[in-house]
């Protein structure tokens, strides 16, 4: 078995992540041996794994397979995360829940004289709707009096993006996709209105650190968060900082969802009760027949059809939408009903690219998608008419995502499309059912067609050759 190092695993000298034949491994180097053994022998990580806060790990024999460097002293095997997502694809509630888990984890670890060496949002993943911590190499022995070394990183990747939405009503996704290290505290401080800066919480975690980073303050007595080795912070103070920050983040609520167009989709859609039942029956039959292990739901809205698909036999659903309110409702549905449903942010006209170091540190949307089936319900017209994308290219892109699926075509006679065209010139001369069928037949076989509304909306079940 030849192991290949994950391209995102290169920054930490304590070890690296490797993959082989669908299995995931992590090395521990001599550099991290002492801390790893202390944490392992404390029993804390076993309890965290049982609680579901930490991914499980099993130590493998010392006869390492090919591809493992000689510097490795331990080899761990982890269960494979079903789908890798990134913080810039999470909705507000997901990032907040990941931040709270990070803080809860630190508070728990302090009871065992363990701390975290960093505080990056990329150290967490979601399994369904539940966040889980994945970086074993972040654990190390707590050093009496130490400052929180990861405070700045936590603020840039968790707190500041949440404040951008909660205080300014701006969704964070595009910003942190463009800056993988997060939103700097200096930038956040410049964005916040003066009335927000009077809060002692903002002062402690945004304004003062920003001024320190800019070199505006010279008094060493004010460098509590400056990560200077000469400073000491009693463990009680460390714990108090984490607890107060946790309480603040738990109370934050998003503002960007207030301008949501599709957050109440089920209440405002144009289907009659009979038409909705017809559509649901078609989707239920499709999923029940194909029983996909992983289903993509593009334009998942509030997650109603994802829930239907899971009930009909899908093993898991990855949903995508660009509307903050819709994603918030979808995530709330997944959490409250404990669904194996992961709703993520996606601007389908500008999907996440390969990026980071060497353009391989963070994989793009298409490089990560490996689905058995796809749903694209009331989706195509948003790309063609809303984003001026060619109909044939949109259809080809959808068919390329999975070997089978259901695509809904919404004609110009439908009220939704009529509203989209109300204040613009209709330049979409090939946007009709005949053009859609020709595009679909050019890259797949149409297995079934079903008219579902009086306005001519149709569902097409396709199968790739």
Residues forming beta bridges with residue 131, ordered by sequence position: 126
Task: Give the number of other Cβ atoms within 10 Å of residue 338's Cβ.
Answer: 10
* CA–CA distance, 209 with 226 (Å, rounded to integer): 7
Q: How many residues does the chain have?
A: 465
pLDDT at residue number 72: 87
φ and ψ of 123, to 5 deg: -80, 0
**Residue 216 has what pLDDT?**
53
Structure letter (DSSP) for residue 181 = T
The SS3 assignment for 454 reads: coil
Q: Which helix (H) or strand (E) holds 381?
A: helix 380-387
Assign domain 1-80 to a CATH class.
alpha beta
pLDDT for position 437: 98
Q: What is the pTM of this model?
A: 0.93
- Picking from 241, 148, 159, 249, the residue whose alpha carbon sits closest to that of residue 207 is 159
CA angle (95 as vertex; 93, 97 as ends), nearest 5: 65
Per-residue pLDDT of the chain (465 residues; tens, 9 = 90+): 778 889 888 888 899 999 988 899 999 999 999 999 999 999 999 999 999 999 999 998 867 767 677 788 999 999 999 999 999 999 999 999 999 999 999 999 999 999 999 999 999 999 999 999 999 999 999 999 998 989 999 999 999 999 999 999 999 999 999 999 999 999 999 999 999 998 999 999 999 999 988 885 555 544 444 445 557 899 999 999 999 999 999 999 999 887 656 555 555 556 789 999 999 999 999 999 999 999 999 999 999 999 999 999 999 999 999 999 999 999 999 999 999 999 999 999 999 999 999 999 999 999 999 999 999 999 999 999 999 999 999 999 999 999 999 999 999 999 999 999 999 899 999 999 999 999 999 999 999 999 999 999 999 999 997
Please report, for the chain, the start and end positions of each structural domain, with discontinuous segments joined by +.
Answer: 1-80, 124-258, 260-463
Q: 260-463 — its CATH code?
A: 3.40.50.150
Task: Kindly provide the residue ranges of all beta strands, DSSP E only, lying in 243-298, ordered along the sequence.
Answer: 294-298
CA distance 379 to 401: 14
Domains 1-80 and 260-463 share a fold: no
Identify the pLDDT of residue 388. 95
CA 70 – CA 52 distance, rounded (Å): 32
């Amino acid at each position: 078995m030849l192991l290949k190092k994950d391209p995102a695993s290169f920054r930490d000298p304590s070890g690296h992540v490797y993959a082989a034949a669908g299995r995931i491994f992590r090395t521990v180097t001599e550099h991290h041996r002492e801390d790893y053994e202390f944490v392992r022998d404390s029993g804390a990580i076993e309890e965290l794994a049982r609680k579901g806060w930490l991914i499980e790990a099993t130590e493998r024999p010392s006869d390492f397979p090919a591809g493992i460097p000689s510097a490795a002293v331990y080899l761990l095997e982890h269960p494979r995360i079903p789908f890798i997502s990134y913080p810039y694809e999470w909705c507000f509630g997901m990032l907040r829940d990941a931040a709270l888990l990070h803080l809860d984890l630190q508070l728990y670890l302090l009871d065992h004289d363990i701390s975290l060496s960093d505080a990056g949002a990329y150290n967490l993943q979601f399994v369904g709707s539940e966040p889980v911590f994945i970086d074993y190499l972040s654990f190390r022995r707590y050093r009496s009096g130490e400052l929180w070394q990861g405070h700045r990183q936590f603020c840039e990747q968790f707190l500041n993006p949440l404040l951008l939405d909660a205080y300014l009503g701006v969704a964070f996704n595009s910003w942190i996709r463009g800056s993988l290290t997060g939103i700097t505290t200096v930038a956040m401080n410049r964005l916040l209105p003066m009335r927000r800066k009077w809060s002692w919480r903002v002062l402690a975690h945004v304004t003062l650190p920003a001024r320190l980073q800019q070199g505006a303050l010279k008094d060493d007595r004010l460098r509590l968060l400056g990560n200077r080795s000469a400073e000491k912070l009693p463990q009680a103070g460390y714990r108090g900082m984490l607890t107060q920050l946790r309480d603040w983040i738990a109370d934050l609520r998003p503002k960007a969802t207030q301008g949501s167009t599709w957050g109440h989709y089920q209440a405002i859609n144009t289907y009659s009760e009979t038409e909705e039942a017809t559509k649901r029956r078609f989707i239920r039959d499709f999923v029940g027949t194909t029983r996909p292990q992983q289903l993509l739901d593009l334009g998942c809205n509030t997650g109603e059809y994802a829930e239907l698909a899971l009930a009909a036999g899908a093993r898991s659903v990855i949903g995508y939408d660009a509307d903050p309110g819709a994603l918030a409702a979808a995530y709330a549905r997944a959490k409250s009903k404990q669904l194996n449903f992961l709703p993520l942010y996606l601007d389908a006209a500008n999907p996440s690219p390969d990026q980071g170091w060497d353009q391989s540190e963070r994989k793009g949307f298409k490089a990560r998608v490996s689905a058995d089936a796809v749903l694209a319900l009331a989706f195509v017209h948003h790309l063609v008419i809303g984003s001026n994308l060619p109909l044939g290219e949109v259809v080809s892109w959808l068919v390329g995502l999975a070997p089978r699926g259901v695509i809904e075509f919404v004609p110009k006679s439908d009220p939704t499309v009529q509203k989209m065209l109300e204040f613009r010139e209709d330049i979409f001369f090939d946007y009709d059912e005949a053009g859609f069928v020709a595009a679909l037949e050019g890259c797949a076989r149409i297995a079934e067609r079903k008219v579902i509304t009086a306005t001519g909306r149709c569902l097409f079940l396709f199968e790739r050759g």
